């Protein structure tokens, strides 16, 4: 925050560059994941029934890590 004190023009440009970098990273990651899913869709189809269980386990582990102070 000290960088933004008294220099709004630098702060606004810094926020704009950061926002654009985050948007570019999210869009790129999403497109890569969609392309990877389309490529391996037939292989992943066999395991589709396990996805809810896997995501539930991940959420439980993250919750436990949060409660225990690991995360």
**In this predicted model, what pLDDT tens digit does every residue of 4-49 receive, in sequence order?**
666 666 788 888 899 999 999 999 999 999 999 899 988 888 888 9
**Residue 3 in this model has a pLDDT that exceeds 60:** yes
Confidence of residue 65 (pLDDT cuts 50, 70, 90): very high
Res 31: pLDDT: 97
Angstrom distance (rounded) from CA 5 to CA 26 = 29
Question: Angle CA(49)–CA(55)–CA(60) in degrees, nearest 5?
Answer: 135
Angstrom distance (rounded) from CA 22 to CA 41 = 28
Neighbours of 14 (CB within 10 A): 13
Where are the chain's structural domains? 8-68
Of residues 13 and 61, more confidently modeled: 61
Res 2: pLDDT: 61
């Amino acid at each position: 925050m000290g960088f933004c004190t008294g220099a709004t023009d630098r702060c606004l440009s810094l926020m704009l560059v950061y926002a654009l970098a985050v948007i570019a990273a999210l869009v790129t990651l999403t497109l890569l994941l969609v392309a990877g899913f389309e490529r391996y869709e037939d292989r992943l189809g066999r395991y589709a029934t396990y996805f809810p269980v896997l995501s539930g386990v991940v959420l439980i582990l993250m919750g436990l890590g949060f409660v225990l102070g690991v995360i």
